[in-house]
Amino acid sequence: MDKVFHSPQAAIADLADGASIAIAGFSVGHGFASSLITALKERGTRDLCIVCNSLGAPGQLRPQILVESKQVSRLVASFSARPGVPSDTERQIAAGELALELVPQGTLVERLRAGASGIPAFYTPTSVGTDVAAGKETREFNGRTYVLETGMTVDYAFVRAVRGDRAGNLEFRGGSQSFNPAFAKAARIAIAEVDELVEVGEIPPERVGLPGIFVSRIVKRTVEAEAPVVLKKKRRADATFRSYNGKPALTRLEIGHRAALLLKSHSYVNLGVGLPTLLTNFLHGRDVMLHAENGILGYGPLGDDETFDRDHYNAGGEWVSIEPGASFFDSIESFEIARSGKLDAIVLGAFQVDGQASIANWSTPQLVGGGVGGAMDLTASTSPLIVLMEHIDGRGDPKLVARCTYPVTAERRVDIVVTDLALLRRVNGRFRLDEVARGFTIEEVLALTPMPVDVAAHVGIMQDAFAATAATEETQK
């Protein structure tokens, strides 16, 4: 059984106008089948429906180029826009040229798994009470509300693997398995692009990540997208701080440090994108196993843009090291972990948190669409939720508000908030101010916090926690 095609162009020769294609890949540029995407752009096939987590960065060999060449009429995705990254996708959506359906990551892969399994629909706790669930049927089970989602199949899938044989068996590496299995299984015709093509039998059975029965065609990679540069600019920003009333608040690194001290040793923790990734700098020796939605459990500190492993990256697409005892898996399993409550803590960034403990972190009025990502699935769990953010946004507006004015990610879910000015805990349904940044009074912080806040009997200083921890570590040596 030989499923090899001699070129990407030959592998997609029957892909007609109006086809639906699930294109695997993660974040701004990881694991996309660049050769197949390039061939499809050259072919000029139009009126496509693209199903994906993300279109990737603009202007590169990722699905975004199909939108830029006006070959796509419908997009089903977890990300249609990212703050600070303008794209032609937003322009086309705003102009009514591109239809958009935003789907949380975990729901996306679950819909494809259901479709592949012949299951027409299922109920999920993800997205309850949000715009994403608007118009969908809901039902209560054991006193909890769930949203009805339908199974999904596609005409084609473009997936990528590190190695494949002529029978279509695929081997994945590191965190790049992610969406590939679910996307391939839901497709009438799954086309695999592989870095290395081998003979049948050269992939040991225990290393086959997707059996060949799910793969219709296989082709060797002919073009490679440039690896994303994701950390240099971020590291410069992490050492900066904002000033309030003419006084310096905590730096971004210090926010991450204070939040890291809230985590229990010997625990499993998910870190979201942005500020939460900074916690990796302060977890050495803590026995904290970090989970990322793309399918990693047990990653460590951030890497760099020069010496990185292309298959080792976190939920923000940033290069990471891998710790002893780590494991890799696909997105289905990743969101089983996320929704099951097995995580001891979830740490997310946010645009807003309100007095009812609701969180908004996927869209703003400046974005067309947004980036739902995995946050709705994570907040659908019962795991404790810690939110990190600056106290005031870049436009000078408070991020702690009486009611969220941005689209909500989850209602009444936030347990702790750490900002560059304060640490607040939710106690008996209300937030309580427990700590403030050095140099700031309780009154100053409350004046910048237009939501109901109680004040602890003793309000500590955030930076004192650093010194206390350092002293404890020194004593234990």
- The CATH number of residue 418's host domain is 3.40.1080.10
Q: How confident is the model at residue 232, as a pLDDT?
A: 53
- Coil vs helix vs strand at 2: coil
β pairing state of 154-165 and 20-23: parallel
Q: How confident is the model at residue 83, as a pLDDT?
A: 84
pLDDT of 300 higher than 90? yes
The residues assigned a catalytic role are 293
Same domain, 210 and 245: no
Q: How confident is the model at residue 350, as a pLDDT?
A: 98
Pull the structure tokens for residue 3.
Answer: 């499923």
Residue 337: phi and psi, rounded to 5, are -65, -45
- Largest alpha-carbon pair distance within the chain? 74
d(CA 380, CA 374): 10
- Domain-embedded: residue 226: no
- Domain-embedded: residue 225: no
Average pLDDT over residues 120-149: 97
Q: Phi-psi region for residue 439, left (φ > 0), alpha (ψ -120 to 50) or beta? A: left
User: Residue 175 carries which side chain, given as an amino acid letter?
Assistant: G
Average pLDDT over residues 246-258: 97
- Domain-embedded: residue 2: no
Pull the structure tokens for residue 229.
Answer: 């540069």
Q: How confident is the model at residue 117, as a pLDDT?
A: 97
Average pLDDT over residues 401-417: 98
User: Residue 220 carries which side chain, given as an amino acid letter?
Assistant: K
d(CA 120, CA 139): 16
Pull the structure tokens for residue 445.
Answer: 């912080």
Same domain, 212 and 317: no
Last residue of a domain, one of 165, 191, 220: 220
- Domain-embedded: residue 62: yes
Last residue of a domain, one of 220, 246, 263: 220
Same domain, 214 and 246: no
133 CB contacts (<8 Å, ≥6 apart)?
Answer: 127, 147
Contact between residue 312 and residue 319 where contact means Cβ atoms under 8 Å apart: yes
Residue 21: phi and psi, rounded to 5, are -135, 125
Same domain, 73 and 215: yes
Measuring CA to CA, how many Å separate 110 from each of 37, 119, 185, 377, 401?
A: 24, 10, 12, 11, 34
Contact between residue 163 and residue 171 where contact means Cβ atoms under 8 Å apart: yes
Last residue of a domain, one of 200, 220, 240: 220
- Domain-embedded: residue 396: yes
Same domain, 200 and 243: no
Same domain, 261 and 155: no
How crowded is the C-beta side of 464, counted as CA atoms within 13 Å? Answer: 11
pLDDT of 227 higher than 80? no
Same domain, 261 and 190: no
Same domain, 280 and 212: no
| % residues pLDDT > 90 (the chain) | 87
Same domain, 409 and 452: yes
Q: How confident is the model at residue 228, as a pLDDT?
A: 73
pLDDT of 375 higher than 60? yes
Per the structure, how many domains does the chain have?
2
- Domain-embedded: residue 227: no
Q: How confident is the model at residue 346, as a pLDDT?
A: 98
User: Residue 217 carries which side chain, given as an amino acid letter?
Assistant: R
Q: How confident is the model at residue 67, as a pLDDT?
A: 96
pTM, entire model: 0.94
- Domain-embedded: residue 141: yes
pLDDT of 476 higher than 60? no
Residue 404: which domain range?
232-476
Which residues lie across from 79 on neighbouring strands?
Answer: 371
Which residues lie across from 425 on neighbouring strands?
Answer: 416, 432
Over residues 17-35, the pLDDT tens digits come to: 999 999 999 988 899 999 9
Same domain, 116 and 181: yes
Contact between residue 331 and residue 178 where contact means Cβ atoms under 8 Å apart: yes
Same domain, 46 and 67: yes
- Domain-embedded: residue 1: no
Same domain, 472 and 363: yes
Measuring CA to CA, how many Å separate 446 from each of 182, 397, 415, 450, 451?
A: 48, 14, 19, 7, 9
Average pLDDT over residues 333-353: 97
Residue whose tokens read 């009997």? 457
